[in-house]
């Protein structure tokens, strides 16, 4: 990893689709980023689970034996934190998939980009 020089913006492909890495290095980078996307997907799932637990707490605070204001407040905060985490992870996954597509396109010589420009 030390011998690889990535551009300053931590992306393997610049805005013009050029790269200083070989096709093999780009394929390795795409594989590493795909693995990272799987891990982010797990974190997104955890975010949804946290939000679901918060929803249960919120529901229990609203309908339990008498209203529990602290439980309602805590459940609301847990739902908000869980959903925010899940949404941020989802945005990261979408952007990461686009980046992997760009890396794979650059590794293949940009043939799919040229085909779409010709259309």
Taking CA 31 as the corner, what is the angle to CA 106 and CA 82, rounded to the nearest 5 degrees? 115
Q: What is the pLDDT of residues 85-119, one digit of tens each?
A: 999 999 999 999 999 999 888 888 765 544 455 44
Domain total in the chain: 1
Q: What is the pLDDT of residues 1-28, one digit of tens each?
A: 445 544 444 454 554 455 577 888 888 9
SS3 call for 96:
helix
Q: What is the pLDDT of residues 35-75, one digit of tens each?
A: 999 999 999 999 999 999 999 999 999 998 788 899 999 99
Residue 50: inside a domain: yes
Residue-number span of the structural domain to which 77 is assigned: 23-109
Residue 16: inside a domain: no
Residue 119: inside a domain: no
Question: Percentage of the chain with pLDDT > 70?
Answer: 75
Q: How buried is 67 (Cβ within 10 angstroms: 0-12 exposed, 13-18 middle, 19+ buried)?
A: exposed
Residue 116, φ and ψ in degrees, nearest 5: -75, -30
Residue 13: inside a domain: no
């Amino acid at each position: 990893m030390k011998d690889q020089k990535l551009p300053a913006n931590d992306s393997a492909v610049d805005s013009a689709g050029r790269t200083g890495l070989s096709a093999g290095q780009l394929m390795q980078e795409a594989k590493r980023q795909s693995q990272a996307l799987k891990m982010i997907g797990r974190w997104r799932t955890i975010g949804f689970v946290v939000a679901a637990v918060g929803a249960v707490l919120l529901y229990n605070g609203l309908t339990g034996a008498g209203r529990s204001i602290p439980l309602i407040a805590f459940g609301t905060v847990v739902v908000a934190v869980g959903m925010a985490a899940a949404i941020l992870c989802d945005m990261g996954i979408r952007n990461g998939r686009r980046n992997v597509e760009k890396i794979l396109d650059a590794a293949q010589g940009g043939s799919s980009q040229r085909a779409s420009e010709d259309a």
